[in-house]
């Protein structure tokens, strides 16, 4: 019976691979998949041509390192097979080894033409490499193959004449402020409901046609909305309240928290203890809302950070920078200084950061990058260290140097 590649060759193999961290790739058409916009050129594989016969294939498999990697197997005809594993040689032997009797497990020994693989040293690296390869080989359904869930955000829709908020998992092209990503939609819903209690922005979702006879809603009756629908306030006054909301999100709550703290201190200095107690309760309300945020949640335009992970090269670490929610190509940092002039780790880090340029990605590519970040960061099996900062100019170099030193002192066990 001839080999008929499954229309979705990766999906069946992804079951049970949640904890595996190697990806292997075989491309039947060229030496490597074609890169698309938004990709980081991570695919620099070791290639093996196995068209000479099964004897050579067995010899090549014996030389493959038994480490985590990313892989693709290219048949002579049909779609490639991609996957990931923590033990590359064992995985390839299972897929390409000779079998003495029929088995229900997939075997590509008789149809393989080329094997390529890239060793990886962390789950983050594996995830990003796998994303790049899956997107190149299966542009129509790579998200489904990866089982990549888009995380939710709290969105303030500024393009509406009377802006409102909503929870969404998509980044649009219209004017808006996005706050996230959150771990779950329930967490985003809870944060939206609680932070709106601090303001009087509307919560209704319909497009307003303000009129004095508008029936309004319960929030207006409870003085939790400025009631623009009933023309109680004009568009400019309502816009000033929306500006307060945007400032609250973009400053991580400090626009309200710092103002309340100053008012409490002033009332205390004037011995107006009742007023100070009232402001103290307001501060507690604001802090309770801020505690509902997930760790990564912030204004997406200020979502910057760096993941420090191990490297496949001994004595090195990989720096994976995120600027405005978009992954940058990795920076491989040699921990031990080399050359005639010993350059400090701090100086080399500053040189690496100075060369960073925010990438220009489409909204779709950006939300996929954010999904990869959220999947890695919120995972219970997260490896490496994450250091957040508002902008490259605000990067805490001393903390980054310590993170690099800790990662280098604990290399992965192969």
Quick count: other Cβ atoms within 10 Å of Cβ 217?
A: 16
Element containing residue 75 per DSSP (H, E)? strand 69-75
Confidence band of 310 (pLDDT split at 50, 70, 90): very high
What pLDDT score does 341 carry? 56
As a whole number, mean pLDDT of residues 116-145 equals: 94
Confidence band of 104 (pLDDT split at 50, 70, 90): confident
Give per-residue pLDDT as tens, 384-410: 999 999 888 899 999 999 999 999 988
Confidence band of 356 (pLDDT split at 50, 70, 90): confident
Question: What would you measure as the largest C-alpha separation in the chain, in angstroms?
Answer: 91
Evaluate if residue 15 carries a pLDDT over 50: no
What pLDDT score does 414 carry? 63
Confidence band of 413 (pLDDT split at 50, 70, 90): low
* Structure-model confidence comparison of residues 40 and 127, the more confident one: 127
What pLDDT score does 155 carry? 97
C-alpha to C-alpha distance for 231 and 241, rounded to whole angstroms: 15
Evaluate if residue 238 carries a pLDDT over 50: yes
Output DSSP code: residue 316: E
- pTM score, two decimals? 0.86
What pLDDT score does 226 carry? 93
What pLDDT score does 256 carry? 95
Give per-residue pLDDT as tens, 323-343: 999 999 999 998 876 554 567
C-alpha to C-alpha distance for 163 and 359, rounded to whole angstroms: 29
* Structure-model confidence comparison of residues 22 and 151, the more confident one: 151
Quick count: other Cβ atoms within 10 Å of Cβ 209?
A: 7
Evaluate if residue 196 carries a pLDDT over 70: yes
Confidence band of 22 (pLDDT split at 50, 70, 90): very low
C-alpha to C-alpha distance for 245 and 174, rounded to whole angstroms: 18
Give per-residue pLDDT as tens, 360-390: 899 999 999 999 999 999 998 899 999 999 8
Element containing residue 254 per DSSP (H, E)? helix 254-269
Cα-flanking dihedrals φ and ψ of residue 309, to 5°? -130, 165
Quick count: other Cβ atoms within 10 Å of Cβ 9?
A: 22
What pLDDT score does 12 carry? 41
Radius of gyration of the chain (CA): 27
Confidence band of 102 (pLDDT split at 50, 70, 90): confident
Give per-residue pLDDT as tens, 142-185: 999 999 999 999 999 999 999 999 999 999 999 999 999 999 99
What pLDDT score does 38 carry? 56
- Determine which of 4-13, 106-115, 124-133, 231-240 has the lowest per-residue pLDDT on average: 4-13
């Amino acid at each position: 019976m001839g080999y008929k590649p499954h229309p979705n060759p990766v999906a069946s193999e992804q079951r049970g691979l949640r904890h595996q961290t190697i990806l292997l790739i075989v491309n039947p058409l060229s030496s490597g998949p074609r890169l698309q916009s938004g990709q980081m050129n991570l695919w620099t594989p070791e290639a093996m041509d196995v068209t000479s016969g099964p004897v050579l294939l067995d010899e090549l498999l014996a030389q493959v390192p038994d480490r985590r990697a990313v892989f693709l197997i290219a048949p002579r005809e049909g779609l490639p097979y991609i996957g990931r594993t923590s033990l590359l040689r064992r995985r390839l032997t299972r897929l390409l080894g000779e079998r003495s009797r029929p088995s229900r497990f997939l075997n590509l020994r008789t149809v393989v033409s080329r094997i390529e693989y890239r060793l990886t040293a962390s789950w983050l690296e594996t995830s990003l490499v796998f994303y790049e390869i899956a997107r190149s080989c299966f542009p129509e359904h790579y998200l489904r193959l990866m089982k990549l869930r888009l995380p939710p955000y709290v969105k303030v829709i500024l393009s509406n004449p009377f802006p409102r908020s909503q929870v969404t998992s998509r980044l649009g092209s219209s004017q808006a402020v996005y706050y996230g990503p959150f771990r779950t939609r329930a967490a985003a819903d809870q944060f939206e409901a609680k932070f709106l209690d601090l303001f009087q922005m509307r919560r209704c979702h319909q497009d307003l046609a303000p009129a004095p006879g508008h029936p309004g809603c319960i929030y207006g009756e409870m003085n939790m909305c400025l009631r623009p629908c009933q023309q109680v306030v004009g568009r400019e006054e309502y816009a000033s309240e929306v500006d307060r909301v945007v400032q609250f999100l973009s400053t991580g709550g400090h626009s309200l928290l710092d103002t309340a703290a100053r008012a409490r201190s002033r009332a205390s200095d004037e011995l107006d203890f009742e007023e100070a107690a009232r402001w103290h309760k307001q501060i507690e309300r604001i802090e309770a809302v801020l505690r509902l945020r997930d760790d990564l949640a912030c204004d997406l335009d200020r979502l910057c950070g760096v993941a420090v992970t191990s490297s496949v090269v001994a004595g090195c670490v990989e720096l994976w920078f995120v600027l405005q929610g978009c992954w940058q190509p990795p920076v491989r940092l040699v921990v031990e200084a080399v050359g005639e002039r010993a350059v400090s780790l701090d100086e080399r880090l500053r040189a690496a950061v100075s060369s960073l340029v925010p990438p220009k990605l489409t909204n779709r590519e950006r939300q996929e990058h954010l999904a990869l970040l959220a999947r890695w960061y919120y995972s219970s099996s997260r490896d490496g260290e994450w250091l957040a900062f508002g902008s490259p100019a605000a990067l805490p170099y001393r903390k980054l140097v310590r993170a690099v030193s800790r990662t280098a002192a604990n290399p992965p066990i192969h």
